[in-house]
């Protein structure tokens, strides 16, 4: 694949948005709705970096912005460390490097996560709600959680694949390879994340050359649902690292307007 392919400034830049198959797949739709205002979004749930590369190849995309949310941060890190030339910029949200850079959650949360594999998958989704979302969302904005659950339950769930992703996440360790990431990187993490505590985001960003870390106040593991408009940070970052688009204003001025416009879309 040639590294000198022509980039058509009239075409929306591609974004490969990676998630797990659990509730994060529905939470991601809130961010994806914002991104689709500016980008061509390829949303998927691969388990490995090789599968992520295959998705780009199948779509005819040589290089893309890559966003990894929750479990999606695992294949996103594998892609960015294994084939860095395929990644224009990288966003890792609610993610961890694993290994020595892993900050464990509280014992009660660890016990809950260990038991997830033994629950029927739909029961597991409901049981995970108080762990995934910020306490204020559970108390004051249950309708948002209901929307996420309804969206996720509208499509079939594969319990074998769910258990496999849990095992992959537990074994994940990219710490020794993070220095290979050459793309501009944004690490975003909810300050109230109980599943993957916020220190994981800090440790992850510290291992990536030049990475920027943003903590979302009031956000849990599912911060795009907890904090409407928080995904505007992703949009602005990706626009700032996109080719200038043809037409009035171009990408540079679009980046300046993205956060407020995206926040309005998320509240709608």
In a domain, 34, yes or no: yes
pLDDT digits (tens, 9 = 90+) for 72-97: 999 999 999 999 999 999 999 999 99
Instruction: Decide if 146 contacts 24 (C-beta within 8 A).
Output: no
In a domain, 2, yes or no: no
- Please give the residue range of the domain that contains residue 201: 14-267
In a domain, 1, yes or no: no
Query: For the chain, how many structural domains are there in total?
Result: 1
DSSP-assigned letter for residue 88: E
Q: How many helices (H) and strands (E) does the chain have?
A: 12, 6
CA 236/CA 223 separation, integer angstroms? 17
Q: Does an H or E element contain 25, and which?
A: helix 24-35
pLDDT digits (tens, 9 = 90+) for 180-213: 999 999 999 999 999 999 999 999 999 999 999 9
**pTM for this prediction:** 0.88
In a domain, 9, yes or no: no
In a domain, 42, yes or no: yes
In a domain, 149, yes or no: yes
Instruction: Decide if 151 contacts 29 (C-beta within 8 A).
Output: yes
In a domain, 8, yes or no: no
In a domain, 4, yes or no: no
Q: Give the CATH number for residue 47.
A: 3.40.50.1820
CA R_g for the chain: 18
């Amino acid at each position: 694949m040639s590294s000198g392919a022509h980039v058509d400034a009239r075409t929306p830049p591609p974004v490969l948005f990676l998630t797990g198959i659990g509730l994060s797949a529905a939470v991601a739709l809130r961010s994806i709705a914002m991104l689709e205002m500016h980008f061509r979004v390829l949303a998927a749930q691969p388990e490995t970096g090789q599968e992520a590369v295959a998705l780009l190849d199948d779509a005819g995309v040589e290089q893309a912005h890559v966003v990894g949310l929750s479990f999606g941060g695992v294949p996103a890190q594998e892609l960015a460390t294994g084939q860095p030339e395929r990644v224009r910029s990288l966003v890792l949200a609610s993610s961890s490097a694993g290994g020595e850079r892993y900050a464990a959650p509280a014992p009660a949360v660890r016990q809950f996560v260990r038991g997830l594999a033994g629950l029927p998958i739909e029961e597991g989704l409901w049981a995970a709600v108080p762990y995934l979302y910020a306490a204020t969302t559970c108390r004051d904005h249950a309708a948002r959680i209901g929307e996420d659950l309804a969206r996720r339950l509208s499509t079939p769930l594969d319990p074998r694949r769910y258990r496999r992703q849990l095992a992959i996440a537990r074994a994940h360790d990219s710490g020794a390879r993070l220095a290979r990431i050459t793309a501009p990187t944004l690490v975003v993490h909810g300050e109230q994340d109980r599943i993957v505590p916020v220190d994981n985001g800090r440790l992850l960003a510290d291992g990536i050359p030049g990475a920027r870390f943003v903590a979302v106040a009031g956000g849990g593991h599912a911060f795009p649902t907890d904090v409407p408009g928080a995904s505007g940070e992703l949009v602005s970052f990706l626009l700032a690292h996109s080719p200038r688009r043809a037409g009035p204003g171009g990408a540079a001025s679009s980046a300046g307007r993205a956060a407020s416009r995206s926040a309005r879309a998320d509240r709608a």
